[in-house]
Amino acid sequence: MTSITHHISPPLLAAYAAGTLPEPYALVVASHISMCDDCRAALGAHEAAGGAVMESSAAQAVSDDLKARVFDGLDIAPVAGPVYQKSGVFPAPVMEALKGKPPKWKSLGFGVRQSVISRSAAGSVRLLYIPGGQAVPEHSHNGLELTLVLQGAFADEDGRFGVGDLEIADDDVQHTPMAEVGDACICLAATGAPLRFASWMPRLFQPLFRI
Amino acid sequence: MDQKNDPKSFGSRNVGMLTLEPSSCDTPNSHARHPRSMARKKVRLPKQESQQISDQTSWMLAVRDARDRQAFGRLFDYYAPRLKGFVMRTGVPAAQAEDIVQEVMISVWHKAAQFDPHRAQVSSWIYQIARNRQIDVLRKENRPMPEELMQDEVQTEDASQIIALEQEADTLRQALNTLKPGQRDMVEKAYLGELSHSEIQEQTGLPLGTIKSRIRLGLEKLRHELKDIRQS
Ligand SMILES: [Zn+2]
């Protein structure tokens, strides 16, 4: 909890607070906030700003019967959906997206696995499992890519990312993350457009210590 | 800018709620109390402090702790027209905006137990519910939400902390008011949900930067509060 060093950027948080962030990114942001009190507090500050904008909006008179309609609704108990909680390394928003079930991993070879949580025109979000000491498959992506570490750690040109750290990669960054030797690295990753694994060079899948 | 009559300015002179415990005539529906809210400690404030806590927060606490319908009516009277105005600014027609106001206000009643005045202003809390509702209605999407923090059932309210947070929010609001019109417009657009992430990013140098220090101060307070919750 205390060792998180890579956080959500202010524009990303503001967009999340305002609800303009596409769902795949919003899932990663909500997951990071579940793990990070600093960003939870920062979100609170953005919501205070949003609340101030709401409260200072010019009032529009409401229909005469609106209040009665609202009071009529108070006695109708809302249908409560299931509440999901953190399970193992997976934060609550991920468990909710998985509907409480364990992820369905698919092998990408060499011990690397992925589990696609959602894929749509808005983008995609997936879990990645990289054995310790191995490279994350090289890939290209369009637009923003958010990667949140749930277990283990990886390192790339931008530094070291441990549990709870969020990597924000802008357009066309060619990066080659490498899982740290030790525990397998499990990440939650969101991209704006369908992810394409560009190359399947076997060298990327050789454990470091065997090269 | 009629600051004198500005209902947004905090500093309530409400004599009817020196303690936030509603009088019996305020609770025509006291049978609606449920066990969980009974477990909470009511805020009993020394006179001096009660003069500073906002009406909005006291109404909300009366709704949360005593299911006080009269207080809820006051919340409605205050927030419904502003919320309608806010939603209409995003281009939603009046009738649909009222539907959203209706659902948001009903959620305020049902989700009241989640309201924590140490961590959020009533306006921020309602803003957040309203944005969720709009995403749901306009984009047919759910916004993934962070895990709720587990809290003590019997939580003691700390009036001085509530007031400190209110003052922080008040200062933030004043900071927004002193922005140049163009800058203020951008900030409002951002929180109205009219700017994408990259558009906000491009604007960071200007308007968000101006209120950043306010946000940072508010953040310090909230961070402190969260630490307390973690330790309890
Ligand atoms: Zn963070």
Domain containing A56 — which CATH number?
2.60.120.10
Half-sphere exposure of A181 (CA within 13 A, CB side): 5
Mutate to test the interface with A, among B200, B228, B231 (most CBs of A within 10 A): B200
CB B131 within 8 A of CB A55: no
How high is the pLDDT of residue A157? Answer: 82
pLDDT 10s digits, A134-154: 987 666 566 789 999 999 999
pLDDT exceeds cutoff 90 at B49: no
With a cut of 90, say whether residue B123 has pLDDT above it. Answer: yes
What residues of chain A lie within 8 A of the CB of B84, using their CB? 59-60, 62
User: How large is the ipTM?
Assistant: 0.85
- Nearest CB among B141, B147, B190 relative to A18 is that of B190
What band does B184 get if pLDDT is binned at 50, 70 and 90?
Answer: confident
For residue A46, give its domain range: 1-211
* A143-182 confidence digits (pLDDT tens): 789 999 999 999 988 899 999 999 998 766 667 789 999 9
Which has more pLDDT, A173 or A5? A5
Kindly report which listed range (A81-90, B4-13, B89-98) carries the lowest average pLDDT score: B4-13
- Does B10 map to a domain? no
Task: List, for residues B153-169, the tens digit of each pLDDT value.
Answer: 556 778 887 888 888 78
Q: Is residue B65 situated within a structural domain?
A: yes
In a 13 Å sphere around the CA of A159, the CA atoms on its Cβ side amount to 10
Q: Is the pLDDT of residue A39 over 90?
A: no
Least confident of A68-82, A194-208, B2-16: B2-16
Question: How many angstroms separate the CA of residue B22 from the nearest CA in chain A?
Answer: 19
Reference B71, options B41, B109, B34, B115; nearest CA is B109
Residue in the structure block whose two tokens are 């806010």? B86
Residues of B in contact with A145 (CB under 8 A): none
Query: Residue B15 pLDDT more than 80?
Result: no
Q: Which letter does DSSP use for residue A59 in this model?
A: P
Q: What is the mean pLDDT of chain B?
A: 73
Q: Which domain holds residue B179?
A: 24-231
Rounded-to-integer distance, Cα B188 and Cα A12, Å: 16
Q: Show residues of chain A in contact with B200, CB under 8 Å.
A: 11, 14-15
Query: Among B88, B176, B219, whose Cβ lies nearest the Cβ of A52?
Result: B176
Q: Which residues pair with A159 in a beta bridge?
A: A156
Residue B55's nearest CA partner among B117, B132, B107, B130 is: B117
State whether residue A150 sits within 8 Å of chain B by CB. no
Whether B116 shows a pLDDT value over 80: the answer reads yes
Burial degree of B18 (CB within 10 A; 0-12, 13-18, 19+): middle
Cα B183 to the center of its chain, rounded Å: 24
Contact check, Cβ <8 Å, A17/B168: no
Q: How far is CA A81 from CA A41, A78, A99, in A?
A: 26, 9, 11
Report d(CA B10, CA A52) in Å as an integer: 12
The structural domain count of chain A equals 1
Higher pLDDT, A121 or B48: A121
DSSP sequence for B43-96: P---HHHHTTS-HHHHHHHHHHHH--HHHHHHHHHHHHHHHHHHHHHTT--HHH
Q: Is A66 on the interface with B (CB under 8 A)?
A: yes
The alpha carbon of A210 and the centre of ligand 1 are apart by a number of angstroms equal to 35
Calpha distance A16→A22 (Å, rounded): 9
**Amino acid A80: pLDDT:** 81
Per-residue confidence at B11, pLDDT binned at 50, 70, 90? very low
Residues A18, B131: C-beta atoms closer than 8 Å:
yes
Q: What is the CATH number of the domain that holds B127?
A: 1.10.1740.10
Residue from A12, A60, A170 to probe the interface with B (highest B Cβ count within 10 Å): A60
Q: At B231, is the pLDDT very low, low, confident or very high (cuts 50, 70, 90)?
A: low
The pLDDT of residue B183: 78
**CA distances in angstroms from B92 to A194, B134, B138, listed in the order given:** 32, 10, 9
Question: pLDDT category, B138, cuts 50, 70, 90?
Answer: confident
Judge: A44–B135 Cβ closer than 8 Å, yes or no: no
Whether residue A100 has pLDDT greater than 70: yes
pTM here is 0.81
Number of structural domains, chain B?
Answer: 1
Question: Would the pLDDT of B29 be above 60?
Answer: no
Confirm whether B11 is domain-assigned: no
Site from A21, A32, A56 to mutate, B interface, most B CB atoms within 10 angstroms: A56
CB neighbour list of residue B103: distance below 8 Å, 6 or more residues apart:
B133
> Does residue B143 surpass a pLDDT of 80?
yes
Q: Measure CB to CB from residue B173 to each of A14, A56, A63 and give the nearest one.
A: A56
Q: Taking residues A200-206, what's their average pLDDT? A: 39
Task: Give the other-Cβ count within 10 Å of B79's Cβ.
Answer: 25
Q: Tell me the pLDDT of chain A averaged across its residues.
A: 85
pLDDT band for A5, please (50, 70, 90 cuts).
very high
Residue B104 pLDDT > 80, yes or no? yes
CB nearest B81 (choices: A25, A56, A61): A61
Judging contacts by C-beta atoms under 8 Å, the chain B residues touching residue A46 are: 191, 215
